[in-house]
Amino acid sequence: MEEFILIRPTSEYASQIAEYRQEFLDAGDSMDGTGPLRRIENPEEYINICAEYEDLQTVPSHLVPATQFLFVRKSDNRLVGMLQVRHCFNDYLEKYAGHIGYSVRPSERRKGYAKEMLKAALPFCKGIGLNKVLITCVDGNIASEKTILANGGEYESTVYEPNEKEYLKRFWVEG
Ligand SMILES: CC(C)(COP(=O)(O)OP(=O)(O)OC[C@H]1O[C@@H](n2cnc3c(N)ncnc32)[C@H](O)[C@@H]1OP(=O)(O)O)[C@@H](O)C(=O)NCCC(=O)NCCS
């Protein structure tokens, strides 16, 4: 059984964060659960911004505090996934994006890592007072839906998100 650690981004992982980002760009894939990684090319800048986003004193006023995690395989210290926990809701999160976003790098998919990563994040959620977390996925994203269901997700509703023009399925998972 593989072992993993769930840790905040640090300089030790700067080059792997850049590789992770590039892998998603090359695949034309969605960097879900990475916070501002889409728009920030420099990994050191990204690491600093993640720290700012976690702190109520420094998070930009249009965002809620959020904790960024790296999911790292212990055997080779490889960054395989990323997950972001939003500490509370704003209107958009409450309706559409939920408390948690995540992704697994394309070269490491279909090994059960997303299921493990979400499971590993739930104690942290409980620790910050989130006894139930809202997780949403685009209707038709089978891999994400199965990840949520494998962690006890209970379907609540489907909503239409007008900006992306897509239907999102909303699930609640006990922290
Ligand atoms: C969704 C995502 C995180 C899944 O990562 P993963 O590590 O490959 O997922 P897992 O290996 O843990 O698989 C979870 C389940 O989905 C299934 N699955 C994974 N990829 C699949 C695919 N392409 N098609 C169908 N089923 C798939 C697995 O078989 C597994 O099902 P099981 O519970 O029946 O065994 C990954 O595809 C990803 O990063 N996608 C882009 C970002 C994204 O969509 N994030 C979710 C936003 S809500």
pLDDT of 46 reads 98
The response to whether residue 151 sits with its C-beta less than 6 Å from ligand 1 reads no
The response to whether residue 111 sits with its C-beta less than 6 Å from ligand 1 reads yes
The response to whether residue 112 sits with its C-beta less than 6 Å from ligand 1 reads yes
Average pLDDT per consecutive 10 residues, the chain (175 residues; last block may be shorter)? 96 98 98 98 98 97 97 98 98 97 98 98 98 98 98 98 97 94
Identity at 151, one-letter amino acid code: N
CB count in 10 Å sphere of residue 162: 8
The response to whether residue 109 sits with its C-beta less than 6 Å from ligand 1 reads yes
State the Cα–Cα distance between residues 111 and 85, nearest whole angstrom.
22
The response to whether residue 8 sits with its C-beta less than 6 Å from ligand 1 reads no
Q: Are 40 and 49 in contact (CB under 8 A)?
A: yes
Longest dimension (CA), the chain: 43
For the whole model, what pTM was predicted? 0.98
pLDDT of 1 reads 84
pLDDT of 58 reads 98
Distance 115 CA to ligand 1 centre (A): 8
**Domain 4-130 listed as CATH 3.40.50.1820:** no
The response to whether residue 139 sits with its C-beta less than 6 Å from ligand 1 reads no
The CA–CA distances, whole Å, from 115 to 43, 103, 126, 152, 164 equal 26, 11, 17, 11, 26
pLDDT of 175 reads 81
pLDDT of 59 reads 97
pLDDT of 75 reads 98
State the Cα–Cα distance between residues 146 and 21, nearest whole angstrom.
24
* Atom 34 of ligand 1, residue of closest alpha carbon: 146
Q: Helix, strand, or coil here: 106?
A: helix
Q: Which residue among 21, 84, 103 has the greatest number of ligand 1 atoms within 8 angstroms of its CB, and so is best to mutate?
A: 103
* Atom 31 of ligand 1, residue of closest alpha carbon: 146
